[in-house]
Structure 1
Amino acid sequence: MFNPNPTLQSIALHDGHTCWVIDDAFTRPEQLRQFAREQRAAFAPAPHNAYPGVELLMPPEFSDRLAEFFAQHVRRRLGGRRTLHMYSRLSMVTKQPHELLPRQWLCHRDNQGLPADQCIAASVLYLFDDPALGGTAFYRPRKSPQETAQLVHDCGQMDAATFSARYGIAPGYMLDGNDWFEKTGSVPARYNRLIFYDGSLFHTGELATPQRYLNDPDTGRLTVNGFFTCSRAAG
């Protein structure tokens, strides 16, 4: 299923971080899109996270292969020593800007609650044909860690009007940054492109065409997202 001879490209981000990009990642990517078609009715919102759409957990057999690929080609490059836990899911963005909660107006990171001796990596496989549906953008906080932490806390607790008034952030998908976050780089989407990055970096999809985000594996923004919790490599 995976390209047996992948070529890794590096895209430099801020503070020495790197996003690793593999094009033509799967030998038969259409099988994944066909699986999404067959399972379309099983996609559902996931209230426990801030993803602005619907999701479907991938079968263990697929996640195991993705974990093997990650361990072989990427884990050490992102500071991991051993994979402790991972999972993957199919995802489709479906929410319109007026439907978003405050925590969906912002970029986010995936390492909340991890102990200091662990790290998390994330991956995105783009399974749509039109790059205009959006790649992935990365951001650096403009404020202090304490101020940023308070913002992140409040976006999950306040109603939209209160949050917007307090922080000066308008409803809608985040694109070019704001007073709180500087956009430092992005990776364009491409069909069958797989990217890996440090999940502790603030990031979000570049979602500039919301009118086209449909619950349809053939025309929507279909991705496979992977999350890898690892012990940290020494040094």
Structure 2
Amino acid sequence: MNIRPFLHKDFRMRVDHIGHQQAPVVVIDNFLLDAAQMVEYAATGAHFAPAAALYPGVHAVMPSPYPMFVHFFTRSIIPEAFGLSDRDVVDCRCTFSMVTTRPDKVGVRQLVPHTDFLDPNHIVVLHYLYAKPHGGTAFYRHCATGYEGGAVDQRERYETLLKAELQAHPPTDYIRGDTPIFQQIASYDAVFNRAILYRSTSLHAATIPAEFSYDPDPRSGRLTANTMFFYGDQTSFFGPPRKPV
């Protein structure tokens, strides 16, 4: 990937706090200098394949320089915004992603908000490489429980209630705003070369407009760079200390 490891000269950042839990969302506009070159690489050099997880579309492996740049540029931002000053990145996942699958071809759980991991030390960097009218990303509250993010001790109750609710109110399209089950608490438009950073535990969903084309061309479709950083301590990296023999 031939991109220059520089921030854009018009880089701008703010930190929002959303919902009752005041969860931090970092918004960076004009993120990287060569974002347009990333789109060209995705169109000419990336190898997309159906996503293995619940993502409703395709993924492609991101060349290693990109997550290295992102970590370098956010290594002081993320610990401060998310209260992780005693930790550092010990694992990373990074892909190009494109929504290409229509709502009638996915499972019901792909039509509602989700969490990526239940560990609050996982931080998502979602980099938009497209602009409207392809929609952005929204965050939600589960109406019955008030949950705005997942946690291990909440999982059983949430899953039990949600299963019953989805049977009573089965969705037929990707979520856009409030429903009988979820309330939207924040929404971010897709602006080319904008990045939003949030905890993987936050309930969120892509905003897919009704007129969405499901275009598989990276130059004209809903292309994002999705990076997941796991912030761990020394034990996360090296394992627990060995006991003296």
Q: State the TM-score, normalized to the length of structure 2.
A: 0.80
The 5 A counterparts of 1:144-183 are 144=145, 145=154, 146-150=156-160, 154=163, 164=166, 166-183=167-184
Pick closer, same or farther for the CA change 1:121–1:187 going to 2, 3 Å. same
| Unaligned residue ranges in structure 2 (runs of 5+) | 146-153, 234-245
Q: Where is the helix percentage greater, Structure 1 or Structure 2? A: 1
Contact 1:67 1:86 in 2 (8 A): no
CA displacement at 1:163 relative to structure 2: 8.3
The 5 A counterparts of 1:54-203 are 54-80=58-84, 81-112=87-118, 114=119, 119-128=121-130, 130-144=131-145, 145=154, 146-150=156-160, 154=163, 164=166, 166-203=167-204
Pick closer, same or farther for the CA change 1:67–1:218 going to 2, 3 Å. same
Q: Secondary structure at the match of 1:25?
A: coil
Contact 1:100 1:172 in 2 (8 A): no
Q: Secondary structure at the match of 2:65?
A: helix
Q: State the AA in 2 paired with 1:106.
A: V
Q: Which residue of structure 2 aligns with residue 52 of structure 1? A: 56
Q: Secondary structure at the match of 1:174?
A: coil
CA displacement at 1:4 relative to structure 2: 6.5
Q: Which residue of structure 2 aligns with residue 7 of structure 1? A: 12
How many residues are matched?
216
Pick closer, same or farther for the CA change 1:151–1:44 going to 2, 3 Å. farther
Q: Which residue of structure 2 aligns with residue 39 of structure 1? A: 45
Contact 2:126 2:224 in 1 (8 A): yes
Q: Which residue of structure 1 aligns with residue 225 of structure 2? A: 224
Q: Using the alignment, how far apart are the partners of 1:210 and 1:108 within structure 2?
A: 23
Q: Using the alignment, how far apart are the partners of 1:60 and 1:209 within structure 2?
A: 35
| Unaligned residue ranges in structure 1 (runs of 5+) | 155-161
Pick closer, same or farther for the CA change 1:4–1:218 going to 2, 3 Å. closer
Q: Using the alignment, how far apart are the partners of 2:70 and 2:35 within structure 1?
A: 13
Pick closer, same or farther for the CA change 1:101–1:210 going to 2, 3 Å. farther
CA displacement at 1:150 relative to structure 2: 2.6
CA RMSD, aligned part only? 2.2
Q: State the TM-score, normalized to the length of structure 1.
A: 0.83
Q: Secondary structure at the match of 2:74?
A: helix
Q: Secondary structure at the match of 1:33?
A: helix
Q: Using the alignment, how far apart are the partners of 2:95 and 2:36 within structure 1?
A: 16
Q: Using the alignment, how far apart are the partners of 1:225 and 1:170 within structure 2?
A: 26
Q: Using the alignment, how far apart are the partners of 2:144 and 2:135 within structure 1?
A: 27
- 2:215 is the counterpart of 1:214: yes
For 1:27, which of 30, 33, 36 is the aligned residue? 33
CA displacement at 1:224 relative to structure 2: 0.4
Q: State the AA in 2 paired with 1:201.
A: S
Q: Secondary structure at the match of 1:88?
A: strand
Contact 1:96 1:211 in 2 (8 A): no
